[in-house]
Chains A and B, each alone.
Chain A
């Protein structure tokens, strides 16, 4: 187990470094510095500003300073666009929002998707099964940026039941639509995965043995079939997490929820490289870590993986 964890980290740590160095040097390539504007600053002023932000030092030293700041003080540096606001302020403002609807969506996708998949497998070829399969096929073509406008159209514009945007401190009626829009396609994938693996498990020998010795169906499913059939779902959690992080860009821009995604997209438009880099590194390393944890979890749960 330990050697597997070490081997897995041997992938994760270089990945983190590649992400860090690549995004840092990519920013150096960017045409125009952070302080180039339509009205050019006097060279003396520019020099002073650059000295203030440490931009006059050699690139490798800037990188070291930057990484040092993140590691020691969790400081992602200043925003070059809004002088009074640092990347940390943006994280503090946007992160709770993203975390709230992200976590709810994640749980929603797993619980509803898993339940739907299991139910469909147990009652194969019933109306419930057809319903589940229909949803999973439909949801493939309903990514968040298609789902969100349709939801707004129906529930805000036509029915007027839910507010079309805003966050309002995370009041329930502001959370519903972002969660549904963000989680539907992942819920569908999880339902499809659990359904097919459950079907496979139910046909396997040890389930036949359990049936033969006369166990009640309920015990067979909960005690014997459930655990092996949710395994593929565990390996899907990584991609689902990545999808939800990037999906938050869409959610924040359609529903004006003011999460991290809003700041990221805004920074991309304003060419606020410092903010983009900070958020890329934060969200990117979260993703890499999460994937690593999921892989280790998977290896730990699955008895078939020999370490």
Chain B
């Protein structure tokens, strides 16, 4: 986690003698160690591969099928159960949905939205939470307690209600979904970052920076935030699946993304409502993508945490 260690560069020795010593004992930076530990974690590595495949699927999936996600096949509509089965022969790999649309391209589209919500939500949380927590932790005193009291209050508001209220009042749209999720996602992050900042604040290199007259916000930007990156990275990977879960929850209720756009939650919801008709592929394909991706994100988060936890060293 320490920037000081990773900038220690064995490739640029000061003197020849030092250079020889360096060559013997190769420096192990924390990041190199962490990378090694992460690569040895089989579950995490497998999850990385799976996630890359799912990302490729989201980006390039629509090149694999001649059908788009909106065209309705009128021949299938009404007898999806018999005509709409998944088949490689007619290139409807995942079959049809209940309105006679190609499920494969719907799943591609839903994957795009779900991943986007997860990543953007986590990104907002990282940006806002890091800045907020670092400022509160570093400045301290009254500012800190006021800022953290605000977080306490915001966190104890049951945010699912607020999210649904926002979506109902300002219309159900993907933008509103981002706003609603972004409003609350950063709160946890800011607490974690603040705690970490408090412990970094008392280190000697911060004292040195203060003594040499570096302005406060430069200290936060140049010295505090880079040292927070480890914690933030771990927590951000664990946030992505949470964001996806929230979005799926909302879309499952039908309050999230609207037709013709879709997401995993909305697709699962459709699958559930048609379960009784025996068209189970409508449930299983989105469910499979959802479960596998959430699993993968959790494993990567756990792997990162284990890898970056210096206690293990």
Partner-contacting stretch, out of A55-63, A117-125, A210-218, A283-291: A283-291
CB-CB < 8 A to A297: which residues of B?
A: none
Q: Are B291 and A26 in contact (CB-based, < 8 A)?
A: no
B:231-256 near A, CB below 8 Å: 245, 248-249, 252-255
Q: Are A146 and B287 in contact (CB-based, < 8 A)?
A: yes
Tell me the minimal C-beta distance from A102 to chain B in angstroms.
14
Any chain B CB within 8 A of the CB of A246?
A: yes
Any chain B CB within 8 A of the CB of A51?
A: no
Any chain B CB within 8 A of the CB of A152?
A: yes
Q: Are B255 and A284 in contact (CB-based, < 8 A)?
A: no
Q: Are A146 and B291 in contact (CB-based, < 8 A)?
A: yes
Tell me the minimal C-beta distance from A203 to chain B in angstroms.
15
A26, B171: Cα distance in complex, Å: 12
CB-CB < 8 A to B74: which residues of A?
A: none
Known: A14-B153, A280-B161. A249 touches B253 (CB 8 A): yes
Q: Are A18 and B268 in contact (CB-based, < 8 A)?
A: no
Tell me the minimal C-beta distance from B200 to chain A in angstroms.
25
A162, B148: Cα distance in complex, Å: 48
B:262-278 near A, CB below 8 Å: 265, 268-269, 271-272, 275-276
A146, B280: Cα distance in complex, Å: 14
Known: A14-B153, A145-B248, A253-B253. A26 touches B158 (CB 8 A): no
CB-CB < 8 A to B268: which residues of A?
A: 145-146, 149
Contact with B along A232-267 (1 / 0, CB 8 A): 000000000010011001100110000000001100
Any chain B CB within 8 A of the CB of A140?
A: yes
What residue of chain A has the Cβ atom nearest to residue B293's Cβ?
A141
A195, B67: Cα distance in complex, Å: 50
Tell me the minimal C-beta distance from A299 to chain B in angstroms.
15
Max chain A C-beta neighbours (<10 A), residue from B255, B272, B275: B272
Max chain A C-beta neighbours (<10 A), residue from B158, B248, B275: B158
Contact with B along A260-303 (1 / 0, CB 8 A): 00001100110101001000100110011001000000000000
Contact of B161 among A253, A269, A271, A283 (CB under 8 A): A283
Contact of B156 among A22, A29, A250, A288 (CB under 8 A): A288
A29, B294: Cα distance in complex, Å: 36
CB-CB < 8 A to A112: which residues of B?
A: none
A284, B152: Cα distance in complex, Å: 15
Q: Are A141 and B165 in contact (CB-based, < 8 A)?
A: no
Q: Are B287 and A11 in contact (CB-based, < 8 A)?
A: no
Any chain A CB within 8 A of the CB of B295?
A: yes
What residue of chain A has the Cβ atom nearest to residue B280's Cβ?
A153
Tell me the minimal C-beta distance from A189 to chain B in angstroms.
13
Q: Are A284 and B169 in contact (CB-based, < 8 A)?
A: no
Any chain A CB within 8 A of the CB of B160?
A: yes
Known: A26-B165, A149-B271. A246 touches B160 (CB 8 A): yes
Any chain B CB within 8 A of the CB of A176?
A: no
Known: A18-B153, A246-B160. A254 touches B272 (CB 8 A): yes
Any chain B CB within 8 A of the CB of A64?
A: no
Any chain B CB within 8 A of the CB of A34?
A: no
Q: Are A27 and B169 in contact (CB-based, < 8 A)?
A: yes
CB-CB < 8 A to B156: which residues of A?
A: 11-12, 15, 287-288, 291
Interface size range on B against A:
35 or more
CB-CB < 8 A to B295: which residues of A?
A: 140-141
A164, B276: Cα distance in complex, Å: 10
Contact of A250 among B153, B170, B249 (CB under 8 A): B249
A142, B248: Cα distance in complex, Å: 12
Q: Are B169 and A30 in contact (CB-based, < 8 A)?
A: yes
CB-CB < 8 A to B271: which residues of A?
A: 149
B:165-203 near A, CB below 8 Å: 165-171
CB-CB < 8 A to A26: which residues of B?
A: 165-166, 169
A12, B155: Cα distance in complex, Å: 11
Any chain A CB within 8 A of the CB of B283?
A: yes
Q: Are B168 and A271 in contact (CB-based, < 8 A)?
A: yes
A238, B161: Cα distance in complex, Å: 16
Any chain B CB within 8 A of the CB of A157?
A: yes
What residue of chain A has the Cβ atom nearest to residue B255's Cβ?
A268
Known: A22-B162, A284-B157. A145 touches B169 (CB 8 A): no
Any chain B CB within 8 A of the CB of A23?
A: yes
Q: Are B255 and A145 in contact (CB-based, < 8 A)?
A: no
Known: A19-B157, A146-B268, A291-B156. A141 touches B253 (CB 8 A): no
Tell me the minimal C-beta distance from B110 to chain A in angstroms.
15
Q: Are B158 and A246 in contact (CB-based, < 8 A)?
A: yes
Any chain A CB within 8 A of the CB of B206?
A: no
Known: A18-B153, A276-B165, A284-B161. A145 touches B275 (CB 8 A): no
Q: B: which residues have CB within 8 A of A?
A: 149, 152-153, 156-158, 160-162, 164-171, 245, 248-249, 252-255, 265, 268-269, 271-272, 275-276, 280, 283, 287, 290-291, 294-295, 298
Query: Across chains A and B, which 3 residue pairs bring their CB atoms closest together, nearest first?
Result: A246-B160, A149-B272, A141-B294
Can you report 6 residue pairs joining A to B where beta carbons are below 8 Å apart?
A27-B169, A254-B272, A265-B253, A265-B254, A265-B255, A288-B158
